[in-house]
Amino acid sequence: MILRGPALVCATLGIDQATKSWALNDLWQRSPDGVALAPFLNLRLGFNSGISFGLFAESAAEAPWLLVVFKVAVVVVLALWLWRTRNPIEAVSLGAIMGGALGNVADRIRYGAVVDFIDAHAVGLHWPTFNMADVFIVSGVTGLIWASLRTRPVGQRDVSKR
């Protein structure tokens, strides 16, 4: 196991929870309608009781503990992968995914929904509101894809050294 992964789990979880705390306590109190940061980016508080991007919000709201159990199971599988990896890109990527997932799990346990506050939009179309945990999860998945494209399968020779 590469220690960067566990360190990143803690860092991403901390950043996620700190930014959500700020959104709940400061952003909401000062600007309940949100704050425009740029022509394409707002900060506005929202709660997602669904899976991802608000999918299945009605049915997921009735069983938030099912989503918690599922995400914790995913984190356990990722932790086993992290324990076995020797690839630093995989370790960092897995740490980011795990920290983000645990941040969203903490929200579901505390609030019954995930706290979202980043609202990206362009030409009248809005991306579903998201949070830093989502940023870390997407970044981690991107890192895993990149690592898989850079890694040669076991037993494959480097023919360029002939």
133 pLDDT above the threshold of 90: yes
Mean pLDDT across 2-24: 93
Cα-Cα-Cα-Cα dihedral sign, residues 77, 79, 89, 136: positive
Among the listed residues 16, 107, 116, 119, the single catalytic one is 116
Confidence of residue 100 (pLDDT cuts 50, 70, 90): very high
119 is catalytic: no
Residue 143: band (very low, low, confident or very high) from pLDDT cuts 50, 70, 90: very high
116 is known as an active-site residue: yes
SS3 (DSSP) at 150: helix
**Average pLDDT over all residues of the chain:** 86
Which residues neighbour 132 within 8 Å (Cβ) at sequence distance 6 or greater?
Answer: 12, 15, 16, 19, 20, 100, 103, 118
Pair 4, 86: CB distance under 8 Å: no
- Judge whether 95 and 4 are in contact, CB under 8 Å: yes
Buried b (16+ CB within 10 A) or exposed e, 78-100: bbebbeebeeebbbbbbbbbbbb
The residue ranking higher by pLDDT, 28 or 71, is 71
**Over residues 71-85, mean pLDDT:** 95
